[in-house]
Structure 1
Amino acid sequence: MLLFLSFNLPLPAQQIRVMTYNIYHGEQHFNPGKSNLAMVAEVINKYKPDFVALQEVDSMTMRSAKLNNDIPMDLVAELARMTGMHGFFGKAIDYSNGGYGEGLLTRFPAESSNYSLPNPKGGEGRVLLLVSHTFPNGQKIIFAGTHLCHQYAENRLAQAKAVREILEGTKLPVIVGGDFNFTPDSEPYKVINGGFRDAALIKGNPQITYPPEILRIDFIFLSGGHDWTVRDVEVIPASASDHRPVLVTLELKTR
């Protein structure tokens, strides 16, 4: 007689590779007047992230035209073409006859949403751009990108609170990356880190991401209450921008 036993075997952990990269509006920081898109795409193609959060992104601006033979360019669409990924743009402000804001690249089909963030002191508008994706095993996640105010601490604090509120409201596993323009000893960092976890601290290897001022202001945060394992965190010594890209390899135990 054969006995067949049924077990509820756990699903394998979902492996995810993510990057955040402030691309300096598509211009080489150390070689002004030259496009850096090929350099940015080279980094993305080399490290093959599943999701990329891009900051300082132009869309059809005259500034982008100056770097592209006088033809305005959608930087996200061009990087999507160069990397074979899906691209999403979230406009924060009208700028130079086009738009300026956040970009996301994904290896997978996804749905996007763009949220305006508060600006109590004025200054440049800021947004939170997010995509949702459901993996073949049924696990749904949110990947988001943002770029907080560089001018006013009051704005950064209000924006950090809004980012946390929006993302916690999804009730889903969330990864959020970006140029947050704050350091780990600041109040806005404490706001985000109160509900999310700093991937570099989990791994134990925080590194400088903004060499001009020797600061760590680019982060990838993981939502609390979910079973994340951080396998690796790397700050890549790329020279296309004044910021260095941050790459995180992680696993999410599915439920």
Structure 2
Amino acid sequence: MKKIIFLLLISFISKAQNLNLMTYNIRYSTKSDGVNQWDNRKDHVAEILKYYEVDICGMQEALFSQITDLKERLPNHNYIGKGRDDGKEKGEFSPIFFDKTKLELLKSETFWLSETPEVRGKSWDAAFPRVVTWAYFKDKKSRKKFYVFNTHFDHMGQVARKESAKLILKKIKEIAADKPVFLIGDFNGTPDSEPIQIIKNELIDSEIISTLPHFGPVDTFTGFEAKERENSRIDFIFLNNKNIIVKKHATLSNTWGGLFGSDHHAVLVNLKL
């Protein structure tokens, strides 16, 4: 009997694997950023993923050239995603990088935040086309399966952000049903904004249920400035299942000689499915 109990305990422990999940707006590659241009930051972005042993990172403002740079620096990671302009390589991606040594990709797709999600384009008062990239993963060790949806809401269109929140919740129900889901991204809205409230009516803000208190700055957008900007928490990790244990929630404000990896802080959660 003791042997059976021991084996059951070992089996339970082996299936309760930690997962490090991150959302990170890495800022477009543009020469006008001067000292903060991508060539001076790309190594640091990769270092963050390596140091914190990130299993999944949903990025925003990632151009294909930046994705290529990161792929070269992250040999254990692969990515999925499409450019918002042509559904291939042009324009911003909302890619999902994942550790291919730990996770098996079962399915993935990209849709647009518009009235015609399967067609490239924009709707409402959006300034630009916006996309959602989603993936269905299986943890190779625990065998548990889950979905990740990654997005970047429009920065100008108030109606677009509200309608995008409604659309993405509808899509999550259609695609994931009752499976564990993580919705991550740059939502260009603060916790009390209407789009975030719409999301929080159905999903859970991971910060709220973290076992340990939040670590790091509260706000996530910095504009490359060391001074914290008030009321600029716009990057979130949401989930749909209260049985998922969020152990830690952090905003990472690492710098290298005063240089940030991006004009946003990365947001990281450590959890158990």
TM-score normalised by length of structure 1 = 0.83
1:133 is matched with 137
1:209 is matched with 220
Q: Distance in 2 between matches of 1:181 and 1:3?
A: 54
Q: Distance in 2 between matches of 1:38 and 1:27?
A: 16
2:110 is matched with 114
Taking only the aligned residue pairs, the percentage that are identical comes to 26
How far apart are residue 142 of structure 1 and its match?
0.7
Higher strand share: 1
TM-score normalised by length of structure 2 = 0.77
Please show how residues 34-53 of structure 1 align to structure 2 within 5 Å: 34-35=38-39, 36-53=41-58
Q: Distance in 2 between matches of 1:127 and 1:177?
A: 13
Cα 1:122/1:217, change in 2 over 3 Å? closer
Q: Distance in 1 between matches of 2:135 and 2:58?
A: 10
- Classify the secondary structure of the residue corresponding to 1:195: coil
Per-residue CA deviations over 1:85-141 (Å, capped at 9, x if unaligned) read 01122222259x933221110013313210111221142011110111112333211
- Classify the secondary structure of the residue corresponding to 1:99: coil
Residues 81 and 109 of structure 2 are in contact (CA less than 8 Å); yes or no, is this contact kept in structure 1?
A: no
2:266 is matched with 245
2:246 is matched with 230
How far apart are residue 150 of structure 1 and its match?
0.4
Structure 1: tracts of 5 or more residues without a match:
60-72
Q: Distance in 2 between matches of 1:218 and 1:164?
A: 17
Letter matched to residue 24 of structure 2: Y
Letter matched to residue 236 of structure 2: F
Q: CA RMSD in A?
A: 2.6
- Classify the secondary structure of the residue corresponding to 1:243: coil
1:175 is matched with 182
- Classify the secondary structure of the residue corresponding to 1:98: coil
How far apart are residue 8 of structure 1 and its match?
8.0
How far apart are residue 208 of structure 1 and its match?
0.9
Q: Distance in 2 between matches of 1:112 and 1:54?
A: 15
- Paired residues, number: 235
Q: Distance in 1 between matches of 2:200 and 2:73?
A: 34
Q: Distance in 2 between matches of 1:76 and 1:101?
A: 9
Higher mean C-alpha deviation, range 97-106 or range 196-205: 97-106
1:145 aligns with 2:166: no
- Classify the secondary structure of the residue corresponding to 1:154: helix
1:93 aligns with 2:85: yes
Q: Distance in 2 between matches of 1:191 and 1:30?
A: 38
Residues 124 and 157 of structure 2 are in contact (CA less than 8 Å); yes or no, is this contact kept in structure 1?
A: no
- Classify the secondary structure of the residue corresponding to 2:91: strand
- Classify the secondary structure of the residue corresponding to 2:204: strand
Q: Distance in 2 between matches of 1:130 and 1:46?
A: 25
Q: Distance in 1 between matches of 2:20 and 2:52?
A: 9
